[in-house]
Amino acid sequence: MTLHAPNIRPIIRPLDEAAINRIAAGEVVERPASAVKELVENALDAGAKRIGVEYSAGGKVLIRVTDDGCGMTPDDLPLAVARHATSKIDGSDLLNIRSFGFRGEALASLGSVGRLTLTSRAEGHDGASLTIAGGRMAAVRPAAAVRGTVIELRDLFFATPARLKFLRTDRSESQAIAEVIKRLAMAEPQVGFTLTEVSDDAPRVIFRADPQSGDFFDALHSRLAHILGRDFIDNALKIDVDRDGLRLTGYVALPTYSRGSSVQQFVCVNGRPVLDRNLLGALRVAYYDFLSRDRHPAAVLNLICDPERVDVNVHPAKSEVRFREPEAARSLIITGLRTALSAAGHRASTTVADATLAAMRPEAPRVYQMNRPSQASLGRAYAYQAPQGFAEGFAPPIFAEAPSARIDPVLPDPTDTPLGAARAQVHENYIIAQTATGMVIVDQHAAHERLVYERLKRQMAETGIKAQALLIPEIVELSPSDASRLLEAAADLATLGLVIEPFGGHAIAVRETPAILGNTSAAALLRDVLDELADLGQSQSLQTKMEAILSRMACHGSIRSGRQMRPEEMNALLREMEATPHSGQCNHGRPTYVELKLHDIERLFGRR
C-alpha cells in the first residue's frame, strides 16, 4: 500500500504545534497511569511532603493531583505548559540530571490531549489558575489557593478519541494507577501519599501512606511494612553496600520467601523507579543458587550513583536507564545480595512456620485456660500417674515403636542452640528437635542436600573437587545428541570430579566421580547433568553452569529419605546446618526446616 500517488514528489512541511504536542503525548502519556506518574513526579520535584491523587473512571474522566510543594507564580503558569520549558535543568548538561522530570513535555502533552487546569500559589505571591484544552490555552486568572499546586486533568484523550479504544477497563487502569503510586511511595518513604477514587457515591480512599520519620532505612522499613506487608519486612535483609562510587540500599527477602512471579521486585536508580532488564537480571542471578526457575525473589532496591554515570534520557517515559559501566552496577547487585544472603546463615522465612500452623489449626478451636505447672508439680504428677513399681525414682515408660516413627534415648543435649537438640526421627525423613523456645522439624534430605552442595562449592573454589576412581568404569548408553553434549563439556566436568570419555558408538565411560558423593549411580548422575545442560542452554556463564551441575550432583550425595539416623548423626546434621550459610533452604528454594514456637503450639491446643 502506498501513502501517496505514484510519480508525485511528496512535499516536506513543518507540523503545527498542536500536532507536535499530540505526537509527543503518545510517547509520554500511554495511559492514565502515565499521566499520574508525570504529575506526581513534578510534585516531588517541587519539594512536596504530602501528595494527594484523586481519579475517576480509571483516570479517563478525572485525575487531580494536589501537593504542598513550592508552588508557581502567575508568570510561571504559561511557561509550565509550554513544550520543553522546565525549571529542572538549564540545558547545558543533559547527563547531570538530579530530578524526576527534566524534558518539559508532560504538561504540554497532557494539555494537548485533555482538559488541563493548573491552580498554584508560591510563597509571597497571589494564587493563579490556567486552563489549556486540546492545545488551546486560556488566559491566566486569579484564584484562591494555599501554597502548593493543584493540577486537574479531565477527559483524557478527548482530543485524540482513537486512543481511548486502546485503554483497558476502568478496573485495570485503576490498578495501574495504584501501582504507580505504590512504587513512588517506596522510593520516597518520607513523603505522604493518598490515593482516592471519586465516584457518584462517597469518595473511597484506595491507598494511604503517611510520611515516615527517622533516617532513610527506618522510614523505608515502616513504609515497606505498610505497602508489602509485615510478612515481607519480617523476612527481609537490609542491604547497604558500596563499591567504586556505587551504593546499593534497600531490603531483599529470604529465598524461602519467594514468589510465583516478579510482582514484588522494585528497583530504583537514584530514587527513580525504573524497569531495567540489566538490574532485574542481576537480581535474578544473585538468587540463582537458592531458587528454582519457577520462583522469583522479592526485593526493593535503590542504586545510587553520580548522575553523570547513568543516562536517564533513553526514553520519554524515563522508565529505562543506561549505565556508563553496566557491569559495575550488575556486579554490585550480585555480590551485595549474595553477601547478605550468606550472612543470614541458616535463617528461613517465618511464613513457613505460619503456613504450618495454619494447616494444623482447627477451624473453631476451643480455648481452655490452663496454667503451666512447676517442675516440682510435674514430677509429683508423673510419679502419681506412673504404673505400679515406677513411683520411686520414676522414669518414663518405654512405648512400643510406631511403624513410621523411631524415638531414641537421646542424651540431654543443650537446647539453647538455634536448631536445638534432636529428640526423634519420624517417617525416616524428619528430625524433631527441641529448642529453648519451641521445636524444629527438619527435612533431613533437603537439609543435607544443601550442606553437600556448599561443601562441593567450597572444594571447587579452594582445591578443586576430589574425585574417586571407579574400580570398573561404568558404561552408560545415551542418544547421539546427549553423548555429544556431554563430551563437549567433558573438560569442565572433570574440574567437578566427574571424568568421562567416549566408549565407542554413543556410549560414555564414567571413570571417576566426585568423592563426596560416595557410592553413586553414574547413569543417574549423567542424566541429571544432561538435564541441567539442556535447561541452561548457552545463555548462562560457565560459573553458573558449573554451580547448577554441582547442585544436581549434591542430590546424589545427600542423606536419602527413608534412612534411619542415630541421635549423634541427627545432632551433627543440626550443628552443621547452623554453621553453613543458606542451609535454611534447599537448592531449589524450599525450606529445610520449620520452627514452631511453644506459645503457638500451646495455642493450637487451646492452652492460650
Q: Is 92's pLDDT higher than 90?
A: no
* The domain boundary residue, chosen from 155, 178, 207: 207
Cα dihedral 574, 580, 583, 586 in deg (nearest 10)? -110
pLDDT for 357 equals: 62
548-585 pLDDT, tens per residue?
A: 777 777 776 666 677 888 899 999 999 999 988 888 88
Residue 11 lies in a domain: no
Residue 129 lies in a domain: yes
Domain that holds residue 321: 216-344
Coil, strand or helix: which one is 509? strand
The answer on 87 and 189 residing in a single domain is: yes
496-537 pLDDT, tens per residue?
A: 888 999 998 889 999 998 887 777 788 888 887 887 777 665
Task: Find the range with the poorest average confidence among 29-38, 44-53, 368-377, 470-479.
Answer: 368-377
Residue 389 lies in a domain: no
97-111 pLDDT, tens per residue?
A: 667 756 567 888 888
Report the chain's terminal Cα–Cα distance, integer Å: 78
Nearest-CA neighbor of 185 among 124, 281, 107, 266? 266
pLDDT for 492 equals: 83
The answer on 177 and 41 residing in a single domain is: yes
The answer on 181 and 237 residing in a single domain is: no
Residue 291 lies in a domain: yes
The answer on 220 and 203 residing in a single domain is: no
Residue 378 lies in a domain: no
pLDDT for 366 equals: 45
Between 174 and 135, the higher pLDDT residue: 174
CA 476 to each of CA 479, 486, 501, 528, 554: distance values in angstroms, whole numbers, following the listed order = 10, 12, 11, 13, 20
Q: Which residues face 249 on adjacent strands? A: 240, 302
412-448 pLDDT, tens per residue?
A: 556 688 899 999 999 889 999 999 989 999 999 888 8
The answer on 220 and 134 residing in a single domain is: no
The answer on 220 and 78 residing in a single domain is: no
- CATH number of residue 326's parent domain: 3.30.230.10
Share of the chain above pLDDT 90, in %: 38
Is 0.85 topped by the overall pTM?
no
User: Do 42 and 329 meet the contact criterion of CB atoms below 8 Å apart?
Assistant: no
Q: Max alpha carbon distance in the chain (Å)?
A: 117
pLDDT for 454 equals: 86
Residue 364 lies in a domain: no
The answer on 176 and 231 residing in a single domain is: no
The answer on 251 and 184 residing in a single domain is: no
Q: Is 2's pLDDT higher than 80?
A: no
The answer on 186 and 109 residing in a single domain is: yes
The answer on 121 and 161 residing in a single domain is: yes
Q: Cα angle vertex 570, ends 566, 575, to 5°?
A: 145
The answer on 101 and 31 residing in a single domain is: yes
217-252 pLDDT, tens per residue?
A: 999 999 999 999 998 999 899 999 999 999 999 999
pLDDT for 541 equals: 55
pLDDT band at 399 (very low <50, low <70, confident <90, very high): very low
Query: How far is it, in rounded angstroms, from Cα 127 to Cα 500?
Result: 81
Q: What is the mean pLDDT of the chain?
A: 82
- CATH number of residue 420's parent domain: 3.30.1370.100
The answer on 265 and 129 residing in a single domain is: no
Residue 543 lies in a domain: yes
Query: How far is it, in rounded angstroms, from Cα 197 to Cα 443?
Result: 48
DSSP secondary structure string, 22-64?
HHHHHHH-SSHHHHHHHHHHHHHHTT-SEEEEEEEGGGTSEEE
- CATH number of residue 144's parent domain: 3.30.565.10
Q: What's the domain count of the chain?
A: 3
Residue 392 lies in a domain: no
* The domain boundary residue, chosen from 207, 224, 243: 207
